[in-house]
Amino acid sequence: MARTALVTGGIGGIGTAICQRLAKVGYNLVANHHPSESEAAERWKQERMAEGLAIATIAADVSSFEESVRMVGEITDGQGPIDVLVNCAGITRDKSFKKMELDQWQAVIQVNLDSVFNVTRPVWEGMLERGFGRVINISSVNGQRGQFGQANYSAAKAGMHGFTMALAQEGAAKGVTVNTVSPGYVETAMTLAMDEAVRNSIVSGIPMGRMARPEEIAAAVAFLASDESSYITGANLPVNGGLFIH
- Tell me the catalytic residues: 153
C-alpha distances out from residue 28 to 4, 59, 224, 227, Å: 5, 17, 16, 16
Q: Give the nearer residue to ligand CAA in terms of CB position, either 110 or 191.
A: 191
Q: Give the nearer residue to ligand CAA in terms of CB position, either 108 or 167.
A: 108
Residue nearest to ligand CAA (CB): 149
Strand order in the sheet with 4-7: 56-59, 28-33, 4-7, 84-87, 133-138, 176-183, 236-239
Give the separation between CA 76 and CA 81, rounded to whole angstroms.
5
The least CB distance from residue 182 to ligand CAA, in Å, is: 8
Q: Which helix (H) or strand (E) holds 179?
A: strand 176-183
- In degrees, rounded to 5, the angle at the alpha carbon of residue 190 between the alpha carbons of residues 45 and 186 is 90
Q: Give the nearer residue to ligand CAA in terms of CB position, either 174 or 199.
A: 199
Contact 71, 50 (CB under 8 A): no
The least CB distance from residue 69 to ligand CAA, in Å, is: 27
The least CB distance from residue 159 to ligand CAA, in Å, is: 14
The least CB distance from residue 185 to ligand CAA, in Å, is: 5
The radius of gyration computed from the CA coordinates of the chain, to the nearest angstrom, equals: 17
196 three-state secondary structure: helix
Q: Which residues bind ligand CAA (CB under 6 A)?
A: 92, 94-96, 99, 140-142, 147-150, 153, 185, 190-191, 194-195, 198, 202
Q: Give the nearer residue to ligand CAA in terms of CB position, either 69 or 107.
A: 107
